[in-house]
Amino acid sequence: MPELPEVETVVRGLRAPLVGRTLAGMWYDWPRTIRTPDPADFAARINGQTVHAVERRAKYILCQLDHDILVVHLKMTGRLYVAADTAVHDADRWVHFYAQLDGGQQLRFSDARKFGFVALVTDFATLAPDLGVEPLSDDFTIALMQARLQRHHKSIKALLLDQNFVAGVGNIYADEALHRAQIHPLRAADSLNTAEIARLHTTIPAVLFEGIEREGASINWYRKPDGSNGSAQKFFHVYDRAGEPCLTCGSPIAKIRVAQRGTHFCPTCQPAPVAV
């Protein structure tokens, strides 16, 4: 699933072709793609509204319209791009929704697995009321992180995947941040000491900023709005490198399952928690 750097890259790539454009209707062929409101109301409300901004909250794409917010969640296989009405792209075979734009273009949502969705809301909080702090914001402080860690005994990797704890971090960047912080993914969240919390507070935004600079990780389905690849996957320290040497110490990277997700770490740099 695209994570914060991938979604941020999509948002930045959509601003130029979308901001200032007026919506002139929509088309869909898979009802569950439209989360809310019902398709008839969606079509009536979207028609004639202008896009004023394209922003990101967690892993959500938010297009600010005159009266509503057009929200898109890419989920596992979603792609969002602007194309001329007559243009044909490889991803079009999985387009299940598009918004018609003025000037003979469309905002197309391609989603092979059909897990993604679009929504039209007046207040984004009604769609995702419990999202956690943005890890690239000033609100993401050591004090806040320490206070929240102390409330949880589950593994730190599982907690980082919880969007109510910190918004936008997923499997890839959780593994990368934990490795750089030298913390084993199975460590209980409330067992981290002050130095470890400080390191993790530094590495989480660091790996996210690097992912944004490299325009996301093009593994599996993720592509930028222009169809090209990001390059973050070329710089992973541990993710998807099971059996390869750790870039820090040379030990083979291990892979286990944590919170039902494949999890990569270095057994030497990230020592296992001591059994009590």
Query: Could you tell me if 238 and 179 are in contact, meaning their C-beta atoms sit under 8 angstroms apart?
Result: yes
**Which residue of the set 21, 45, 56, 59 is catalytic?**
59
H/E stretch holding 54: strand 53-57
Instruction: Give yes or no for a contact between 192 and 270, defined as CB atoms under 8 angstroms apart.
Output: no
DSSP state of 272: P
Partner residues linked to 66 by β-bridges: none
Catalytic member of 15, 148, 154, 261: 261
Residue 158, both tokens: 């599982």
Sort strands 34-36 and 23-28 into parallel, antiparallel or unpaired.
unpaired
The answer to whether 145 touches 192, Cβ cutoff 8 Å, is no
Which of 5, 4, 6 is CA-nearest to residue 221?
Answer: 6
The C-alpha torsion from 193 through 198 and 202 to 204, rounded to 10°, is: 30
129 is catalytic: no
Is 116 within 8 Å of 78 (Cβ atoms)? Answer: yes
Catalytic annotation, pick one of 3, 8, 134, 215: 3
Clarify whether 154 is annotated catalytic: no
- The residue count of the chain comes to 276
Q: Which of 2, 5, 135, 185 is catalytic?
A: 2
The answer to whether 157 is a known catalytic residue is no
114 is catalytic: no
Show the tokens assigned to 102: 């003025």
Catalytic center residues: 2-3, 59, 261
